[in-house]
Structure 1
Amino acid sequence: MTKPAILALADGSIFRGEAIGADGQTVGEVVFNTAMTGYQEILTDPSYAQQIVTLTYPHIGNTGTTPEDAESDRVWSAGLVIRDLPLVASNWRNKMSLGDYLKANNVVAIAGIDTRRLTRILREKGAQNGCIMAGDNISVEAAIAAARGFPGL
């Protein structure tokens, strides 16, 4: 059973989707990446610390994850935003699905949102602070307040 999630931007924009990682809340600077592959490398890249990464390619997670693809020994991204998480990870190197990897690394993430709309907002207004809330206790007002309260990088 899927759980709800929201992404709130500091400008008040709200995106509703489903939780694909850990339950809870995360805040950070919302940025986007246009890569078609390498999502595990992006998550574990220290340059993405304190950033909620939006991946613009629509199908993320179809190859699963494997320890050999990590750029470091931990996830650095504050959160992950994607359009569509495939139901099955299909790759001979796959050790864990992306959803399970996010949960195992306590990463709050959201899927099922219009990443094209989000990317246009970020492109036109620049990177913004944001908050992802995932699970049963979601408050739009609290998420916007958390996004606005993030001190930035």
Structure 2
Amino acid sequence: MEKGYLLLSDGQLYQGMLFGATDICCGELVFNTSMSGYPEILTDPSYNGQIVLMTYPLIGNYGVDDNWNESCGVNATALVVKRLYQGPLPPGRISLDEFLKRHGRCAITEVDTRDLTLHIRRNGSQNAVIFPEGMDKQARELIKSFPSITERDL
């Protein structure tokens, strides 16, 4: 994993480690308090265009099976987790990291999700961008030009 960042439209910046597709990505940041069901959340059409912040501290511990998908593909733009599980999985399942790579979705781990959730709760959902180290300028330009949820045709 490589170092990455999560930048909110209000300027708040979080450092972490990238997984999944390690490209730059932008979307509306929202949080989800589920303890499980991350494959269903990522493939749920209602999360289209959103970066989903999982509040449960450990995500990925049971892997992903394509039979759990809520739709044909991944609808969430990206994922934010406190800690990504990277241990053994039951036969026939792939890791969350591999699942996101296959679907071209970026993600970041080792982020203070408690602080981030409180920030969103106090200030409301807002756009955010996940990006690798060295792409600060591009990330700031992207988040400035990215339309709010009310300005997009979903």
TM-score of the aligned structures, taking structure 2 as reference length = 0.91
Contact 1:8/1:140, CA 8 A, preserved across alignment: no
CA drift of 1:138 comes to: 3.0
- 1:61 corresponds to which residue? 60
Q: Judging changes above 3 Å, is the alpha-carbon distance between structure 1 residues 89 and 73 closer, same or farther for their aligned structure 2 residues?
A: farther
Among 123, 147, 153, the alignment partner of 1:151 is: 147
CA, structure 1 residues 76+89, in 2 after alignment: closer, same or farther (shift >3 Å)? farther
Counterpart of 1:90 in structure 2 is 89
Counterpart of 2:31? 32
Mapped partners of 1:106, 1:138: distance in 2: 20
* Alpha-carbon distance between aligned partners in 1 of 2:16 and 2:98, rounded to the nearest angstrom: 18
In structure 2, stretches of 5+ residues that fail to align are 150-154
What is the deviation of 1:121? Answer: 0.7
For 1:140, the aligned partner's letter is D
Note the C-alpha offset of 1:79. 0.6
Question: Cα offset for 1:89?
Answer: 4.3
- Cα separation, partners in 2 of 1:48 and 1:89, compared to 1, 3 Å: farther
4+ residue runs over 6 A deviation: none
What is aligned with 2:111? Answer: 113
Q: 1:13 to 1:90 in 2, by over 3 A?
A: same
Counterpart CA distance in 2 for 1:148 and 1:17 is 22
Whether the 8 Å CA contact 1:25–1:132 is kept in 2: the answer is yes
Between the two proteins, the alignment pairs up a number of residues equal to 149
In structure 2, C-alpha distance between the alignment counterparts of 1:121 and 1:5, rounded to whole Å:
19
Q: Which runs of 5+ in 1 are unaligned?
A: none
Q: Is the 8 A contact 2:89 2:95 kept in 1?
A: no
CA offset at residue 90 of structure 1? Answer: 3.0
Q: Distance in 1 between matches of 2:141 and 2:115?
A: 21
What percentage of residue pairs aligned between the two structures are identical? Answer: 40
**Distance verdict in 2 for CA 1:54–1:142, change over 3 Å:** same
1:20 match: secondary structure:
strand
Give 2:152's aligned residue: none
RMSD (CA atoms): 1.3
Q: Work out whether residues 6 and 138 of structure 1, in 8 Å CA contact, stay in contact via their aligned partners in 2.
A: no
Which of 123, 128, 145 is the matching residue for 1:130?
128
**Structure 1 residues 7 and 104, CA gap change in structure 2 (3 angstroms):** same
Match of 1:47 in 2: 46
